Structure formats: C-alpha cells, structure tokens
Amino acid sequence: MTPEKVKLNWGSQKADLKKFKDSSYDDKSKMAYSIMTDKSLIGKTYEEIREIFGPNDGYFFNDTIPTYIVKDGKNKTEETWQLVFRMDKRYKVKEIFMHKNCCN
C-alpha cells in the first residue's frame, strides 16, 4: 500500500518513535504514514530499528527483515497490515513499505 493510501485509510499523525512499540494498533496505523515517509530511517541498521521499534511482531520472508503490525485483523472480515523495513546487503534500511500480512 502506498504512503498516500495509508494516509487516506488511517490518517496521519507525527510518529512518536519512543511510544510506537507500546501504542495501540489504532495509534500505530496513524503513525505509519509518517514512518513510511521519514527519510531519516533510511540507512538505519537492523539493530537500530530493533532498538527503536522492538522485536518483530510481523513476518516478511525471513526474520532478518524487521516487520511491525500496525493493523490487526481481529476477525475474518478485517485485514492485518504490517510495516516492513526492507534491508540492503549490509542490513541497513533501504525501503519502508506497508504489506498486507493476512486475510480478506
């Protein structure tokens, strides 16, 4: 999902990276646009992303790609979405995007 569609679907609020990992899914989804468009996260290492966002709670191909659920489909009619921090060969963030994790 594009950043523009994320903003349209869930709104936009400035990301508070210190509070992200303890925030509700509703708040995380509102911060997603800001995180996806924040160029300061590009180039961060795997370890830096884990320090900011905590352990992965999503999954995208393998465990070395940091992923974080921002919308949790609580029932079969809702979708689960996750922020994905795609890494380069040196395990530094090269891209941040939204990926549909599950269902509907």
Check residue 73 and report its DSSP letter.
Answer: -
CB-facing half-sphere around the CA of 61: CA atoms within 13 A: 8
| pTM for the model | 0.89
Per-residue pLDDT of the chain (104 residues; tens, 9 = 90+): 999 999 999 999 999 998 998 999 999 999 999 999 989 999 999 999 999 999 999 889 888 899 999 988 777 777 899 999 999 999 999 999 999 987 65
In single-letter form, the type of residue at position 51 comes to E
- Cα–Cα distance list, 46 to 3, 91, 97 (Å): 22, 6, 16
Helix, strand or coil, per DSSP, at residue 34? helix
Q: What is the pLDDT of residues 15-34, one digit of tens each?
A: 999 899 899 999 999 999 99
